[in-house]
Structure 1
Amino acid sequence: MLSSRVSRLIARRAVLFGLLIGPLFGAYASGELRLNSAPQKSGQVDSILVLKKDHVMELLSRGKVVRTYKVALGRGGLEPKQREGDGRTPEGHYVIDAKYEHSAYHKALHVSYPDAEDRRRAATLGVPPGGAIMIHGLPNGRGWIGAGQHLYDWTLGCIAVTNEEIDDVWNLVPVGTSVEIRP
């Protein structure tokens, strides 16, 4: 009698395990779930690559991708930022020059836009280049949006991830990290 109870208990647990783990394995096998063996200590990421067309941000360490995030960009379209207020995300080479733990967003990392070329281009157009480009989480009080935030471009030219993702980025990316934003 005891052995049949144990057998049923083991069978139930196996079914439960399959129900819980099966979908995760299927998502992993299909590429929908990406598992990273990434560094866990702050400062081990040495560069950030943003691929605007793909709406992807990659954190790299010594040239190897250690984290990948789906992102929302500026609502002004995929063209490069030209001037203040155009709602576009810039393109070029920048650096993370500050971190803001208390901002209008969960957390934010400031990107060093505009650089000298951005200022020159804006000057030839006779417009201000703009600024305050960040990699940030969701607006304060809106964390419930979660991963749905990347379904459309909604920022004023920034790069947005979920609050959980910006916590991860915050811990891995030190001030001084290079940022490349590509079309």
Structure 2
Amino acid sequence: MRRLGAIFSALCLAALLWGLWLLWAPQPVPPRPQPTAEGWHWPDLRLPRLAWPPILQRPPARPEAPIASPVERILVEKSARRMTVWQREGAPRRFRIALGFSPDGDKGRQGDGRTPEGIFRIDRLNRQSAYHLSLGLDYPQKRHRDAARRGGYDPGGDIMIHGQPNQVPDGYRVKGDWTAGCIALTNAEIEEIFAHAALGTEVEIRP
């Protein structure tokens, strides 16, 4: 019995020492998270982008079909810098244009930089123009010549619808209103119109 008591006492002492070691032994410290190179950031709180239902989506713009039949009428709207060309068959074509360097108001005299207003007609087609092709307009008309005679000044002339200057590289478009009173398009656009225009075609120029 004494031997059993000694063994029991030894086991109790060992258990006590084990418990004390667990209580006071140093605990391993978990590693701290290292900061990233980007630093701390606000969480992404943006809402997901929602696509509009197909019925509300704007369809992509279709390129206008080129002029393929005789030109019947041309309308120039100076304030909108827009020219509309009606053809015999097919939808009208619209073009962005440049005007004279001082476009506001009707042309009065030579060198004023204004594009004339009124109804004119194509009176010449020039392949040897100082610009890339040109459609000449019948300006000055009698009313312009009479006003110039009364005022004692030159009404000017050579008002045309034309392309870019021959000196600039093909495909380049001069920016802004740069002509001396004419109506300017790109070379590709004037080629399209020139191929289907005819003498006598009406050209209306509005403010």
Aligned position for 1:157: 181
Query: 2:131 corresponds to which residue?
Result: 105
Q: Find the partner of 1:35 among 40, 43, 63.
A: 63
Q: Which has the higher helix share?
A: 1
Structure 2 Cα separation of the partners of residues 99 and 143 of structure 1 = 23
- Mark the CA change 1:27 to 1:57 in structure 2 (over 3 Å): closer, same or farther: farther
Query: How far is the alpha carbon of 1:142 from its aligned partner?
Result: 1.0
| Contact kept in structure 2, 1:57 and 1:71, CA below 8 Å | yes
Residue 31 of structure 2: aligned partner: none
The answer on whether the counterparts of 1:37 and 1:66 sit within 8 Å (CA) in structure 2 is no
- Structure 2, unmatched stretches of 5+, are 1-56
Change beyond 3 A, Cα 1:28–1:45: farther
CA–CA separation in structure 2 for the residues paired with 1:79 and 1:58: 20
2:148 maps to: 122
TM-aligned CA distance change 1:72 to 1:116, over 3 Å = same
Cα 1:158–1:28, aligned 2, differ >3 Å: closer, same or farther?
farther
CA contact (8 A) 2:164 2:186 kept: yes
Provide the TM-score with structure 1 as the length reference. 0.74
> How many Å apart are 1:113 and its aligned residue?
0.7
Point out which structure has higher relative CO (alpha carbons under 8 A, 6+ apart): 1
| Residue of structure 2 equivalent to 1:131 | 157
Q: CA deviation at 1:37?
A: 4.0
Cα-Cα RMSD: 2.4
Equivalenced residue count is: 151
Percentage identity across aligned positions? 41
